């Protein structure tokens, strides 16, 4: 009896101690078991918040427009009306403008609502880009889990990777690419995300369907943006050496064949149109512009070594310079409807000095985007790399082709031009991959989680600040936000009231690339005196007799009126358009 009572006492002392170990609060466990840390729940919440922010930005920029956007709309119209000389364009890749043209032809909005409908399409593309990012996110998580064979190492929790990934997506999509920009940049980002995810899925398990899907995505990328053709070729070459198994290389060959089959029709159409092999002229002409310094519009071979134009715009007068372009390219502003046509014949004469000058401009801009735009993200990746040590380098080696593709995509623009929105998709995937493959020792996992949460909080505050600035029009960089085309709409309405009908031809004094009123009024600009090189100012400073001679020259271009922003002293034969800063004069 005594023995049994002592045993009972001993158990009563041990059991509470054991229970204490089992139920003792563990801060890390609380963090990991929080309902919000479950990837599916968190993903849905973040996706909903992202869609709300995207819709808000689309609404804020619903009346915004940019010069490239007018050209995309013209190419879309040409596609709907089967004007293949413009619809199949060696400058503007077709998928985005054709989509705009189809949507507008179905809805048939009034001119007032055309730009908002365009931004509705942009929001739909934003949703596709979000789906592309989620596809990449899921593929990356599956890839990392499949590689987690070392029990001494742990990955960042899925919810932490998801949290940080969404912060990067919002930064790139809303601040770098922007929904209000009428351009295919969000679609390019979607293609880059989908293709990277497709590579990861194929690496996880090779199958015919996954190989065909990868090739199809790469082909769609080329139809979206010309540069994605060479990037796609390079990515397939790198991927071929990612693994040496026979099945893997067969999968890459199958993807290559699909990619070629999807890309070939567009390459054939462009080559037949130009009478030479080409998959697009935008890169070639941009490079020639960068090295020669030639005019981007109304180029007449003025600079030695830049080549001889095959079919330039017509120069009607030297002082002031009057350019006419009534055909064969039709559009709101033909010199920018298809720059590859007007610049056919331009040549690139390589100059090391000039190339270094271009690189001195583009490289610092790309470095700013990577190293200064998001210091919290950069500091977080650096801190995680320090925690991971050599393990991080080992993890990056496992996805070296994907990292290389993003770096090559950014480097491709460096010798030519720097524009943040051209790089957005590559930046998104690069930063996501840099931290998404992190592996840590178990003791450092909690620190890694805290870093991810810190990155998310800092970047989310930046996104909210950017959104508030967009709402209040207090931009961090003046003019770096959605513009308003309200005055352009008023100009178009007043010209209609003055008797100028849709479809009629007009001349302008000033810059034709931002003559949004011409698109809204359905006018065709056929001649101009450019503001560039003080041409417009030269006209307004000229005597009355010289102005009359200009009007005669403009009248032979079939233009019915000439439109300009009003000078300080409006001539008696010019009429101000009520409620605007624009004036017009009849040429009849």
Stretch 378-397: mean pLDDT: 89
Q: What is the 3-state secondary structure (H, E, C) of 207-271?
A: CHHHHHHHHHHHHHHHHHCCCHHHHHHHHHHHHHCCCCCHHHHHHHHHHHHHHHHHHHHHHHHHH
Paired sense of beta strands 582-586 and 575-576, if any: antiparallel
Output the pLDDT for position 438: 84
* Residue 343: partners with Cβ closer than 8 Å, 6 or more residues away: 281, 285, 288, 299, 309
Compute the average pLDDT of residues 237-252.
95
CA dihedral 429, 434, 440, 443 (to 10 degrees): -90
Question: Residue 79: its pLDDT value, please?
Answer: 97
Average pLDDT over residues 470-477: 86
Least confident of 21-35, 315-329, 430-444, 478-492: 21-35
Q: What is the pLDDT of residue 155?
A: 86
pLDDT above 80 (res 7): no
Which residues are bridge partners to 388 per DSSP?
Answer: none
Helix/strand/coil (H/E/C) assignment for every residue in 324-352? ECCCCCCCCCHHHHCHHHHCCCECCCCCH
Residue 36: the pLDDT is: 47
Region of poorest pLDDT, from 103-107, 167-171, 226-230, 437-441: 437-441
58 vs 534, residue with greater confidence = 58
> Which tokens go with 43?
């993903």
| pLDDT-above-70 percentage for the chain | 93
Place of tokens 């929080």: 34
From 522, 523, 574, select the one nearest 547 (Cα to Cα): 574
Band the pLDDT of 39: cuts 50, 70, 90.
Answer: low
133: left (phi over 0), alpha (psi -120 to 50) or beta: alpha
Rounded Cα distance, 68 and 286, in Å = 15
**pLDDT-derived band of residue 31, with 50, 70 and 90 as boundaries?**
very low
Which stretches of 50-201 are assigned E, i.e. beta strand? 154-155
450 has pLDDT over 50 = yes
Q: How far apart are CA 495 and CA 564, in angstroms?
A: 12
Rounded to an integer, the average pLDDT of 471-482 is 84
User: Can you say how many angstroms the Cα of residue 277 is from the centroid of all Cα atoms in its chain?
Assistant: 27
Q: What is the mean pLDDT of residues 179-198?
A: 97
For residue 29, name the pLDDT band (cuts at 50, 70, 90): very low
Share of residues in the chain with pLDDT > 90 (%): 81
Q: What is the mean pLDDT of the chain?
A: 91
Mean pLDDT score, 550-571: 94
């Amino acid at each position: 009896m005594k023995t049994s009572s002592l045993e009972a006492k001993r158990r009563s002392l041990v059991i509470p101690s054991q229970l204490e170990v089992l139920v003792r609060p563990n801060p890390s466990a609380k963090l990991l078991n929080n309902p919000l840390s479950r990837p599916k729940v968190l993903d849905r919440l973040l996706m909903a918040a992202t869609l709300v922010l995207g819709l808000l930005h689309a609404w804020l920029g619903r009346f915004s427009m940019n010069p490239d956007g007018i050209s995309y709309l013209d190419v879309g119209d040409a596609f709907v009306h089967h004007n293949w000389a413009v619809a199949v364009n060696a400058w503007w890749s077709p998928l985005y403008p054709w989509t705009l043209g189809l949507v507008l032809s179905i809805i048939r909005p009034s001119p007032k609502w055309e730009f908002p409908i365009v931004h509705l399409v942009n929001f739909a593309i934003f949703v596709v880009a979000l789906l592309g990012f989620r596809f990449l996110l899921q593929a990356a998580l599956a890839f990392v889990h499949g590689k987690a064979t070392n029990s001494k190492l742990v990955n960042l929790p899925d919810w932490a990777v998801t949290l940080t990934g969404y912060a990067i997506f919002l930064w790139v999509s809303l601040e770098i690419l922007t929904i209000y920009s009428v351009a295919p940049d969000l679609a390019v980002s979607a293609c880059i995300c989908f293709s990277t995810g497709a590579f990861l899925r194929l690496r996880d398990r090779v199958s015919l369907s996954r190989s065909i899907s990868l090739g199809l995505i790469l082909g769609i990328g080329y139809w979206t943006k010309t540069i994605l053709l060479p990037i796609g070729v390079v990515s397939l070459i790198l991927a071929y050496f990612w693994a040496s198994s026979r099945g893997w290389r067969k999968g890459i060959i199958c993807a290559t064949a699909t990619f070629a089959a999807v890309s070939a029709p567009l390459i054939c159409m462009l080559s037949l149109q130009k009478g030479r092999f080409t998959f697009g002229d935008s890169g070639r002409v941009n490079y020639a512009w960068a090295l020669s310094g030639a005019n981007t519009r109304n180029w007449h071979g003025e600079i030695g070594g830049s080549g001889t134009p095959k079919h330039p715009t017509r120069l009607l007068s030297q002082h002031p310079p009057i350019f006419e372009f009534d055909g064969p390219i039709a559009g709101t502003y033909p010199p920018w409807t298809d720059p590859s046509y007007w610049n056919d014949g331009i040549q690139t004469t390589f100059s090391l000095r000039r190339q270094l000058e271009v690189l001195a401009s583009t490289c610092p801009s790309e470095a700013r985007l990577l190293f200064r735009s998001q210091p919290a993200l950069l500091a977080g990746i650096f801190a995680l790399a320090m925690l991971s040590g050599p393990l991080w380098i080992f993890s990056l080696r496992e996805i070296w082709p994907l990292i290389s593709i993003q770096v090559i995509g950014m480097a491709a623009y460096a010798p030519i031009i720097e524009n943040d929105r051209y790089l957005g998709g590559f930046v998104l995937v690069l930063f996501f991959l840099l931290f998404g493959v992190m592996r840590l020792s178990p003791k450092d996992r909690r620190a890694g989680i805290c870093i991810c949460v810190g990155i998310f909080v800092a970047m989310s505050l930046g996104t909210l600040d950017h959104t508030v600035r967009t709402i209040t029009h207090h931009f961090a960089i003046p003019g770096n936000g959605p513009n308003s085309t309200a005055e352009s709409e008023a100009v178009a309405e007043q010209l209609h009231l003055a008797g100028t009908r849709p479809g009629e031809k007009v001349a302008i004094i000033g810059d034709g690339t931002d003559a949004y009123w011409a698109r809204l009024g359905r006018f065709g600009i056929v001649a101009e005196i450019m503001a560039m090189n003080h041409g417009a100012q030269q006209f307004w400073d000229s005597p009355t007799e010289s102005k009359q001679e200009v009007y005669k020259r403009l009248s032979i271009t079939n233009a019915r009126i000439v439109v300009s922003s009003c000078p300080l002293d409006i001539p008696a034969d010019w009429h101000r358009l009520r409620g605007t800063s624009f004036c017009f004069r009849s040429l009849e």
